[in-house]
Chain A
Amino acid sequence: MRESILQLRGVGKSFAERGGVLRREQRRLQVLDGVDLAIHSGEVFGLAGESGCGKTTLARVVMRLLAPTAGDLRLAGIDYGEWARRPRRAFYRQVQMVFQDPYASLNPRLRVHRILGEMLTIHGLANGDRRRRCTRMLEQVGLTADDLDKFPHEFSGGQRQRIAIARALIIRPRLLVADEPVSALDLAVQQRIVDLLGTMQRKLALTLLFISHDLHLMTEFCDRIGVMYAGRLVEILPGRRLIEGGRHPYVQGLLNSIPIADPRQRAAKRPLLEGEVPAPGAHIPGCAFHPRCPQRFAPCDHLRPELIEAAPGHWIACHLFSAT
């Protein structure tokens, strides 16, 4: 077993919905529900799922932007409770994040050299050659020294995302969390940003938690993929095996919804997902997917399936694959 840089055990996050005059809690929205996950050092882990399934919440819990309401997390073997007692910058020296919307994630009033240089200052890495280090980082992500003195609004979406990547990587973190880093970009630009992330990941021996809803993009890029549904992980398997080997009924439904270019193959009618994704936090007993599942049977509506290893490296949470 390889060393895990990030471990989640039973991580849950629920939000209180308050109402009435006294702002009393009306009900709890369970957005993350018992997430177990270990991300290995040096891998690209893809986290997939439709919008509203809790991917972004998971990223924010990992980044300590939100506090989990259940379970515990460890980064580099150290519990988050222990990290909280250390200086904030020590934690963020290990893990950095690239956000979804490059138009919102850069402070519009700071020039690029300040956006990057600030990171060096905060982490005590600015010893004289600040500008040179910023230049080198900028060149690594495909921009030039001339861009240092520009403001974010002078760049295109793809270029802005390159700046955001440079900001995250200039302090050489061990883990990079990329939350839908390309979904706000033009299709033509998406692949180039993914390629850049891949290059940087190899060059810096980075661990990457890549969050996306684009299964097609992820199969080639991710070593392992975890698929989430309604706040839970339903299947984890090697990325290149996803298309052929995805077994969970939800994952199969997702795969069937990927358009196929060849019209002859299209003739074979594939079952598509029925119904709608449940509202975030909706409480569904048993398996969260059972109301939409074409293969549901006796235990599904009251017994929650656990994530079990159906084949080496392939984990599924579905009663179809439970031994018992």
Chain B
Amino acid sequence: MFRSIWPYIGAGIILLFAIGAILAPWLSPYDPYEIHLSEQLAGPSRAHPLGQDANGSDILSRLLYGARISLAVGLSVVALTAVVGVLLGLVSGYYGGWIDTLLMRLVDILLAFPGLLLAIALVAVLGPSMRNVVIALAVLGWVSFARLVRGQVLSVREREFVLAARTSGQSDLRIMVVHILPNVLSPVIVQATFGIAGVIISESSLSFLGLGAPPGTPSWGAMLSQGKQVLLDAPHVSIFPGLAIMLVVLAFNFVGDGLRDRLDPRGGSGRRG
């Protein structure tokens, strides 16, 4: 299906993390909240393969639970924003006119905000919680989907099979759902894959700044933040969550690149039709 091996490697890594996240309660050797103040910042050992953090909690266990947060936030934000963005882009591109002008000016305005700054402001106003992180990231997330889909619809709308659908006598809704949507979905899938990677980074950034999960929650970003105070004495506290973030983001990007090569007709490598 893919020409190179990288998308498979990416998919493999994602699968491993997903299994780790789902089976975290069974796979983790310890309770991620368990505190052993006598074993603060202990390095990797046979009992704790990735070492222990400032509270003496097991880092491996916290990483596994952290995967749940990263993947859940990534998936829920992208699912939410993709649905909203695709719907608005579809309507905007299909109907055109004032509805299109209105939506696209809104998109322009939202794009003018620095994304993470707006998310920080929103979480600061709403209060730090996982739910509010999802909301803050979703407020801007739909914009890229709406824009992408609108552009696709504009080109597909003039193709003869859509004109044929219009002269068949069916409703606009049916034309959009049956004839246009399936033909604009490929780039959306690619965008969604990259989107998950972006959201995971944003979530980590917010948590790093203390604007994500409540203190003590095993989120990768929060773990990094915690580790930065002891970076020189106990680098393992930062290195492992950092590696986890990097690996997952890289994996999603590998898959996204592969999908783009495969699905984008302009790439030329995909099969047409």
Binding site for B on A (CB under 8 A): 60, 63-65, 88-93, 95-97, 99-101, 104-110, 118-119, 122-123, 151-153, 164, 167
Contact = CB atoms under 8 A, between A and B. Distances in A.
B131 interface: no
Interface string B162-204: 0111111111001000110011000000000000000000000
Contact of A122 (B160, B169, B182): B169
Find the residue from A88, A101, A106, A167 having the highest chain B CB count within 10 A.
A88
A97 B160 CA distance: 11
B97 interface: no
B182 A93 contact: no
A88 B171 contact: yes
B159 interface: yes
A92 B168 contact: yes
Contacts of A101: 160
Find the residue from B165, B170, B179, B183 having the highest chain A CB count within 10 A.
B170
Contact of A105 (B160, B169, B174, B272): B160
Interface residues of B, number: 19
B167 A118 contact: no
A65 B273 contact: no
B168 A65 contact: no
A104 B169 contact: no
Find the residue from A60, A64, A108, A151 having the highest chain B CB count within 10 A.
A108
A173 to B, nearest CB: 10
Contacts of B161: 104-108
B156 to A, nearest CB: 10
25 contacts: A60-B163, A65-B167, A88-B169, A92-B167, A92-B168, A93-B169, A95-B167, A97-B163, A99-B163, A100-B160, A104-B159, A105-B164, A106-B161, A106-B164, A107-B179, A108-B273, A109-B182, A110-B178, A118-B168, A118-B170, A122-B168, A122-B174, A152-B273, A164-B164, A167-B164
Contacts of B179: 107
Contacts of A119: 168
